[in-house]
Structure 1
């Protein structure tokens, strides 16, 4: 508190709530009026909590992420893995007090990680996880204020071309896998090519999920069950394989390494990150090239957004035919227009 004599009168310059709180400045003709005003300000402090400075949140960033897991993440299928990623980010940032965690701090962390060779996709994923955690904590009433990462834009990713196998490559791959020592890899690959399943969905398939010409994928990325028809021949193969090799409900054992070795023996080059996923792209690409419906494909693949499925739309015969039929040179009046020079 300060009451000072100035040329224009007695100046009250006061912060009744202390440092960081709301500040009041007013000039009076007399010292008595200035003192009375200052006393009144201090009585208002108790009546108006907004005059109090905001209390600093001294919790560590890791504590807040653990709070998210306890109240929300523990109920998610991938909650434990997400918690592990969030804590790794918190510790890489030096585990600051959450009140000191800023967007600039995270932006600098991203820049460092990018320079160390971490992909922009991975950094965008970390960004999404932490932003979502703060949003959920706010909904639960466990976080006040704005989301620290709410306004930060993610890195823009240049989409890679989706690689799919030709019929000749599929024959080469199946031939190479048929000689593998792993008893499961060939049939898992057939399931992926027949249904568009992710490798992990096919690899973890249980006998109870197969029946009546349908495979039901339960442990999916979206958490939703989806059903895909299969041939009677493939269903019989799955049941026979279970009888020969399984001791539990699960049909297959792990076979990712055997698949990679089979791809190498077949001499097929696949882009980084698209090893087993190329099977899913192959199913979707051939589905569209053979005249499949984009909405049906969305249901088969289990995409929540049609935007993801539209990546395959350009392979549809109708799409290609329209490019030929509707291009601006397709009409004779344009294509064969007279181009003779004007007469002099």
Structure 2
């Protein structure tokens, strides 16, 4: 009902933009004034865009994910895997329409998945991927609203202790890998220890990446190429290995399982999720313990931020050594000793 009598007044009660739009209620002394106001409101809706109710966005979340993939994700090295992750998440949330997808819906999904045993790290990755997808859709002109996940905080993750191998453990591990039936596992592990590279980067190494005493890692996690010099012994071993076991331009084949078995034979216990990655931690830890420079280590590991590399800084022999000399207790001792001098 648009206009009705209310006592000795006339009440205008309308939603000129339709259901779901803004509602207007106002009283007038005469029916003519009420009708004039109602007419003015209707004109405003027709002629002023901001008075129009927002149209529903009925695209499914899965449609938006595929749109992101077609226009951007397909060009990323891990684009296929990211799309599969996001589509699985969308399906688990009931594949809502775009205008029904909200931070609350994702937060509920995240809480449920956490209770099911999914790690907070994995959920943070899904959050980051989906948030980045909406950001990219906005840049491409396919999304005009705020990012639904833009203000949602990720779970705070307690950093695990970075496990690295001692010199004796390294020796035991290499001896164990020598016994492996897999002909690739020993040399892959040695190159990881010599360069700080990830297992997958070494396992996929090609002849074209080894030149002039330098190994160039191209298919890296950050997507940036980095080069690490190695000694002549490693270069010779690579050359001989390719002659005996190489296929085409590749040095190695799959060897992860053989490494895990070698670790077990050596009696070494590693934290969950740090199996082959322990080799990278071992390189970085020994690099710093032997007096290496933190900025050089950052370049070798390919960390985009120095914050990541600083996790190893405490292993440096002179890390925060000024604490011994510059603490107030030491200064107090110095002043006391000075006072006793005659």
Quickly name the TM-score band, shorter chain normalised.
Answer: over 0.9
Give 1:304's aligned residue: 304
**1:117 deviation in Å?**
1.1
Do residues 181 (structure 1) and 181 (structure 2) align?
A: yes
Q: Aligned-residue CA RMSD in angstroms?
A: 1.6
Post-superposition Cα deviations, 1:24-50, rounded to whole Å, max 9, x if no partner, equal: 333333212221221222222221121
| Partner SS for 1:144 | coil
Post-superposition Cα deviations, 1:104-150, rounded to whole Å, max 9, x if no partner, equal: 21111111111111111111111111111111111211112121111
Give 1:341's aligned residue: none
Post-superposition Cα deviations, 1:214-245, rounded to whole Å, max 9, x if no partner, equal: 00000000000000000011111111111111
Do residues 207 (structure 1) and 207 (structure 2) align?
A: yes
Following the alignment from structure 2 to structure 1, what is the Cα–Cα distance between the partners of residues 325 and 157? 33
Q: Aligned pair count? A: 337
Q: Is the 8 A contact 1:8 1:27 kept in 2?
A: no
**1:313 deviation in Å?**
0.5
Following the alignment from structure 1 to structure 2, what is the Cα–Cα distance between the partners of residues 214 and 176? 27
Give 1:85's aligned residue: 85
Following the alignment from structure 2 to structure 1, what is the Cα–Cα distance between the partners of residues 282 and 335? 37
Flag structure 2 segments of 5+ consecutive residues without an equivalent.
Answer: 338-342
Q: Is the 8 A contact 1:22 1:52 kept in 2?
A: no
Following the alignment from structure 1 to structure 2, what is the Cα–Cα distance between the partners of residues 335 and 311? 36
Instruction: Map residues 16-165 of structure 1 onto 2, 5 A cutoff.
Output: 16-165=16-165
Following the alignment from structure 2 to structure 1, what is the Cα–Cα distance between the partners of residues 332 and 18? 83
**1:5 deviation in Å?**
2.1
251-260 or 136-145: bigger deviation: 136-145
Q: Is the 8 A contact 1:329 1:335 kept in 2?
A: no
Flag structure 1 segments of 5+ consecutive residues without an equivalent.
Answer: 338-344
Give 1:313's aligned residue: 313
207-216 or 95-104: bigger deviation: 95-104
Following the alignment from structure 2 to structure 1, what is the Cα–Cα distance between the partners of residues 177 and 8? 93
Do residues 252 (structure 1) and 245 (structure 2) align?
A: no
266-275 or 29-38: bigger deviation: 29-38
**1:71 deviation in Å?**
1.1
Q: Is the 8 A contact 1:163 1:282 kept in 2?
A: yes
**1:56 deviation in Å?**
1.0
Q: What is the TM-score when the length of structure 2 is the normalising length?
A: 0.94
Give 1:238's aligned residue: 238
Give 1:288's aligned residue: 288
41-50 or 315-324: bigger deviation: 315-324
Following the alignment from structure 1 to structure 2, what is the Cα–Cα distance between the partners of residues 139 and 308? 29
Do residues 223 (structure 1) and 234 (structure 2) align?
A: no
Following the alignment from structure 1 to structure 2, what is the Cα–Cα distance between the partners of residues 46 and 178? 80
- 1:332–1:41 distance in 2 versus 1, CA, 3 Å: closer
- 1:191–1:8 distance in 2 versus 1, CA, 3 Å: farther
Following the alignment from structure 1 to structure 2, what is the Cα–Cα distance between the partners of residues 93 and 310? 38
| Partner SS for 2:155 | coil
- 1:263–1:320 distance in 2 versus 1, CA, 3 Å: farther
**1:332 deviation in Å?**
6.5
Give 2:340's aligned residue: none
Post-superposition Cα deviations, 1:59-103, rounded to whole Å, max 9, x if no partner, equal: 111111111111111111111100000001001111111211121
- 1:187–1:336 distance in 2 versus 1, CA, 3 Å: farther
38-47 or 224-233: bigger deviation: 38-47
